[in-house]
């Protein structure tokens, strides 16, 4: 069993000058590909169950799947709840065997976000697992606008919540399909001077790969969440598999063709965050 907490993988990353990939999962085939990619690269991986994943598969099932996959490999695997919006979400994930809870109170007023995140962190730590919170608001491509993280608020949030990882808004957005943007490095530097908590970037697919690498090695950003980039690879591979055999109908046989491409894409992501 190589099941790990978020703190187990982020603290070495903070000291070692690299970041860990928080790979957003949707089903068994991509989860398995991500874990096999991590094993092939000899790197830790964070398997993330976000709202769309949880809408498709119940948390108790996801917890069992994540733990089963961790048993297959020698590298650390974190079973992470991504964007838990309520205490009940987080409590169910804890009871389902998750080793990390991300509570998202970023839409709430600062004091409420701090108070509720601190309660989740206390619950997580009492159970021997980790907690991630978000300060500022990371928006969505063609959706809600972002609200950049204020460094002074970040310092207070880190100090009063006790989180093991702090997600920040510094030009990143969820669901971005291109890499034409980039992160606000001045804001990142201002935030990292006031805290030693490992920093997290949601919406990492939209960050240029060279900037991801450089920031992983030179800042306190220790986790990049990657989802859209991998889903694009999945979709392209699936379309190619179906086009290659228009009479195919067996789900298992079709996805067997897709999984190696997902593993290759995941290996590229993980390698791109590693130390040289």
Report all structural domains of the chain as residue ranges with CATH numbers, in order of start.
Answer: 3-271 (3.20.20.70)
What digits encode the pLDDT tens for the residues 61-96?
A: 999 999 999 999 999 999 999 999 999 999 999 999
Q: Which pLDDT score is estimated for 127?
A: 98
DSSP letter assigned to residue 147: B
Instruction: State yes or no: pLDDT of 33 exceeds 80.
Output: yes
How many degrees, rounded to 5, is the angle at CA 142 between CA 139 and CA 148? 25
H or E element: which one contains 167? Answer: strand 165-168
126: exposed, middle or buried (Cβ count in 10 Å: 0-12, 13-18, 19+) = exposed
Q: Is 150 a catalytic residue?
A: no
Instruction: State yes or no: pLDDT of 145 exceeds 80.
Output: no
CB 123 within 8 A of CB 104: no
Q: Which residue has the tokens 């590693």?
A: 274
Least confident of 41-45, 120-124, 161-165, 238-242: 238-242
Six-digit token string for 54:
């949880």
- pTM as predicted: 0.95
Coil, helix or strand for 243? helix
Single out the residue of 134, 67, 129 nearest to residue 107, CA to CA. Answer: 134
Considering 8, 36, 82, 89, which one is annotated as catalytic?
82
Q: What is the largest CA-CA distance in the chain?
A: 59
Q: Which pLDDT score is estimated for 1?
A: 55
């Amino acid at each position: 069993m190589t099941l790990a907490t978020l703190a187990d993988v982020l603290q070495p990353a903070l000291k070692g000058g690299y970041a860990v990939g928080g790979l957003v999962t949707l089903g068994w085939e991509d989860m398995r590909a991500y874990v096999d990619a991590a094993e092939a690269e000899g790197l830790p991986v964070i398997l993330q169950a976000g709202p769309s994943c949880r809408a498709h598969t119940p948390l108790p099932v996801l917890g069992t799947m994540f733990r089963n996959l961790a048993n297959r490999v020698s590298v650390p695997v974190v079973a992470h709840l991504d964007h838990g919006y309520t205490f009940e979400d987080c409590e169910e994930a804890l009871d389902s065997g998750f080793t990390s809870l991300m509570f998202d109170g970023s839409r709430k007023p600062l004091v409420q976000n701090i108070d509720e995140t601190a309660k989740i962190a206390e619950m997580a730590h009492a159970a021997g697992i980790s907690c991630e919170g978000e300060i500022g608001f990371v928006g969505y491509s063609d959706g809600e606008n972002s609200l950049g993280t204020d460094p002074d608020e970040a310092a207070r949030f880190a100090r009063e919540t006790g989180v093991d990882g702090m997600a920040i808004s510094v030009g990143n957005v969820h669901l971005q399909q291109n890499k034409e943007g980039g992160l606000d490095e001045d804001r990142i530097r201002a935030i990292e001077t006031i805290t030693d908590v490992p920093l997290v970037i949601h919406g990492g697919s939209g960050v240029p790969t060279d900037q991801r690498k450089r920031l992983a090695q030179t800042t306190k950003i220790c986790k990049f969440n990657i989802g859209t980039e991998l889903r694009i690879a999945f979709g392209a591979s699936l379309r190619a598999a179906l086009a290659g055999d228009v009479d195919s109908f067996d789900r298992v046989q079709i996805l067997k063709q897709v999984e190696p491409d997902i593993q290759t894409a995941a290996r590229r992501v993980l390698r791109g965050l590693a130390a040289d």
